Amino acid sequence: MLKDGDELKHDLSLTSDASPTESDVIHPSELTEPPATSEAPLPKNAFSVLLSSSKDLSKKRPLPPSSSTDPPDPTKRTHPPNWRGCLLPYLTFPHIYPPTTVLRHTPSFVTIFDAFPKATIHLLLLPRDPTVNTLHPILALNTHPSLLSSSKSEVQILTPLVQKELRRRFGHLSKTQIAHTSSPDTVPERIYPLKIGIHAHPSLTHLHIHIITPDMSSPSLKHNKHYNSFTTPFFIPLEDFPMAEDDYRRKHPGRDEESGEVYLKGDMRCWRCGRNFGNKFKALKEHLEKEKEEWLAE
Amino acid sequence: MLKDGDELKHDLSLTSDASPTESDVIHPSELTEPPATSEAPLPKNAFSVLLSSSKDLSKKRPLPPSSSTDPPDPTKRTHPPNWRGCLLPYLTFPHIYPPTTVLRHTPSFVTIFDAFPKATIHLLLLPRDPTVNTLHPILALNTHPSLLSSSKSEVQILTPLVQKELRRRFGHLSKTQIAHTSSPDTVPERIYPLKIGIHAHPSLTHLHIHIITPDMSSPSLKHNKHYNSFTTPFFIPLEDFPMAEDDYRRKHPGRDEESGEVYLKGDMRCWRCGRNFGNKFKALKEHLEKEKEEWLAE
DNA sequence: GAATCATAAC
DNA sequence: GAATCATAAC
Ligand SMILES: Nc1ncnc2c1ncn2[C@@H]1O[C@H](COP(=O)(O)O)[C@@H](O)[C@H]1O
Ligand SMILES: Nc1ncnc2c1ncn2[C@@H]1O[C@H](COP(=O)(O)O)[C@@H](O)[C@H]1O
Ligand SMILES: [Zn+2]
Ligand SMILES: [Zn+2]
């Protein structure tokens, strides 16, 4: 798991091999969503669709500008049976989506807000190179060093944006961040841990790297497989690539195979205190809300 | 459907045949939950558990004071297989529950907050007379005039409490209520409609009369049968009692019989605009959020 | 009634 | 992947 604050961190201006397009950057003026204890009413900035699916909150995922040539909203059930390819429109036409859907795009990457976020912040980093982005992610990241290094570089641009957004929304609840505000010279800013990695057996075709807060507290988290896909070895941190030659995960056990299914169907354990909830999903959800609150207060 | 503002309305002090116990009345000082555009953080008053199930929001339904002789929390899965009798503890020991669970109790009635509210406000009025409160509600209300009249009287106590709570939480969003605030002498206060009645075939043994706002917007509303049970003739308004001798509903068609199941399994139509959503439950939910907002703004 | 689990069809 | 529907077991 790649935590923010690692040694890879460097300045935003040094990162991109091509200038981000106009809508790539989150302007401070866009960050108008007020800090919230619970959820705030209608947010307006690029980090606004963070919690819960648009469907759950009736904050409809903004549609691309309507025109007969536009691709369909990838969220709507309008273009199955090709649902496995539903990330393709973001890769092909990133510019037509509002910043509440596409956070940032460069010639090499598109970063979107997950349409069914499984935690408070949940982004998907999509590599655009069509020669590698439909390979199995374990294979792709193990055998294409340039993909791996450019992905890690892009992550180093994204994590500070996420940190900033978390501090803006929740910093006032954080003991550390409050101490920092009082004594900026002696107390460093809070650094929130992030989980960054892939699923051992993704359902969607196009390579996507999850960037997600660890709280697992979101209305779109609806069953045990959702939870376990981020909290067991089914989740493979980006920092684990390239894998050792004998890493057992190179077999990329998937949900169709015994070893992958075992993770998804196993007992659920709290990410924070380790408590085993067995298959009691509702009880876990309730517990996760409390854990989130305590975690934010750290 | 019994709407507030009907001719039965009269003063609270005239209603009860026995003085409510100490915790029966909502004291204005308890109404500390701030008016909310979305949901407010941790409310404290008797009208606090209104929206969504405790499980959904991690606002745990308060347990009765723990002691070996206390009844179990009716919400917990601790005392099946007798789940059909889960309302009994409220009837037997109303005083042990906090006012966030039991809103009010008299010798004749206990009024609770529905543990899985299907709308913004959802109360259950429970008649306590054991000689009638386990009869089928259609039979009981048709054949026991004193049960019917006392229930209607208790409703006349409860509806002003609900009106007050709705105005407190949402009045600032209401065109009518805002106009009233500006011109109290010429514009009357907003009266929110309430649905008051029973299910044609209840699942729980003890007679309960639903008092519910019409919005059907709540996390605990989870499938089409939930929705249709309040928006089709499966829902029988209290004001329809006593029924005409030839009222077809005297047959009390239930979910086990064709006629009742037909209502629950039929297409879902928006309570406000009539739009038919077929079996598209998620689309309906999204729509209901918007309708609630517009409705509150009236 | 709620909740977990499985199954089509998209 | 999401969503609708059905089914035990409480
Ligand atoms: N149309 C969509 N737009 C954006 N994200 C999506 C869409 N459909 C599914 N997702 C997300 O994509 C991820 C796919 O999961 P996985 O293939 O297991 O890595 C999940 O987190 C989904 O919530
Ligand atoms: N333990 C409980 N405490 C309070 N309300 C409950 C409990 N269990 C179920 N309910 C509610 O009781 C109602 C029973 O529905 P019905 O029998 O169809 O009228 C539903 O609205 C449930 O949400
Ligand atoms: Zn925990
Ligand atoms: Zn409507």
pLDDT at A43 over 80: no
pLDDT at A13: 27
As a whole number of angstroms, the distance between CA A235 and CA A224 comes to: 14
pLDDT at A63: 52
Give the residue nearest to nucleotide D1 (CA to C1'). Answer: A203
State, as a whole number of angstroms, the distance between the CA of A79 and the C1' of D3. Answer: 15
Nearest ligand (C-alpha, residue B273): 4
Ligand 2 mean position, distance from CA B115 (Å): 7
Ligand 2 mean position, distance from CA B86 (Å): 8
Band (pLDDT 50/70/90 cuts) for residue A61 is: low
Question: Phi first, then psi: what are they for A40, rounded to 5°?
Answer: -85, 155
State, as a whole number of angstroms, the distance between the CA of A224 and the C1' of D5. Answer: 19
A279: how many CB neighbours lie within 10 A of its CB?
Answer: 12
Chain B residues touching A291 at Cβ < 8 A:
none
Average pLDDT value for residue range A170-197: 98
Most A-contacting residue of B289, B290, B296 (CB-CB within 10 A), to test interface: B289
pLDDT at A161 over 90: yes
pLDDT at A163 over 80: yes
Query: Is position B208 annotated as part of the catalytic site?
Result: yes
Nearest ligand (C-alpha, residue A56): 1
pLDDT at B260: 77
Find the helix or strand (DSSP H, E) in which A152 lies: helix A145-170
Say if CB B266 and CB B231 are below 8 A apart.
no
Residue A207, burial from CB neighbour count under 10 angstroms (0-12, 13-18, 19+): buried
Q: What domains can you pick out in chain A, each with its CATH number?
A: 2-297 (3.30.428.10)
Q: How far is CA A56 from CA A52, A94, A161, B17, B188, in A?
A: 6, 24, 25, 45, 36
pLDDT, greater one: A58 or A86 = A86
pLDDT at A178 over 60: yes
Residue B236: closest CA among B202, B261, B278, B267: B202
pLDDT, greater one: A168 or B11 = A168
Q: Report pLDDT digits (tens) over B7-24.
A: 222 222 222 334 454 343
pLDDT at A152: 99
Of A122, A180, A206, A208, the catalytic one is: A208
Average pLDDT, chain B: 81
Give the residue nearest to nucleotide D9 (CA to C1'). Answer: B81
pLDDT, greater one: B284 or A78 = B284
Band (pLDDT 50/70/90 cuts) for residue B112 is: very high
Nearest ligand (C-alpha, residue A77): 1
Window 3-62 of A: residues touching B by CB (8 A cutoff) are 37-41, 55-58, 60
Residue nearest to atom 11 of ligand 2 (CA): B114
Average pLDDT value for residue range A205-213: 98
pLDDT at B74: 78
Residue A79, nucleotide of least CA–C1' distance: C10
Residue A204, nucleotide of least CA–C1' distance: D1
pLDDT, greater one: A18 or B158 = B158
pLDDT at A253: 60
pLDDT at B101 over 80: yes
pLDDT at B18: 42
B18: how many CB neighbours lie within 10 A of its CB?
Answer: 8
> On chain C, which bases lie within 7 A of the protein's CB atoms?
1-6, 10
Atom of ligand 1 nearest to the CA of A199: 19
pLDDT at B174: 99
Band (pLDDT 50/70/90 cuts) for residue A215 is: very high
Average pLDDT value for residue range B218-234: 97
Å between A242 CA and nearest CA of chain B: 40
Q: Report pLDDT digits (tens) over A91-128.
A: 999 999 999 999 999 999 999 999 999 999 999 999 99
pLDDT at A72: 60
Instruction: For residue A149, give both structure tokens.
Output: 């290094």
Say if CB A8 and CB A152 are below 8 A apart.
yes
- Go through B29-52 and write b for each residue having 16 or more CB atoms within 10 A of its CB, e for each that does not: eebebeebeeeeeebebbbbbbbb
Chains A and B: how many Cβ contacts under 8 Å? 34
Task: Please report the sign of the dihedral spanned by the C-alpha atoms of residue A113, residue A116, residue A117, residue A118.
Answer: negative
pLDDT at B261: 87
As a whole number of angstroms, the distance between CA A170 and CA A112 comes to: 21
pLDDT at B257 over 80: no
Predicted TM-score (pTM) of the model is 0.84
pLDDT at A261: 87
> On chain D, which bases lie within 7 A of the protein's CB atoms?
1-6, 10
Say if CB B137 and CB B207 are below 8 A apart.
yes
Of B144, B208, B252, B287, the catalytic one is: B208
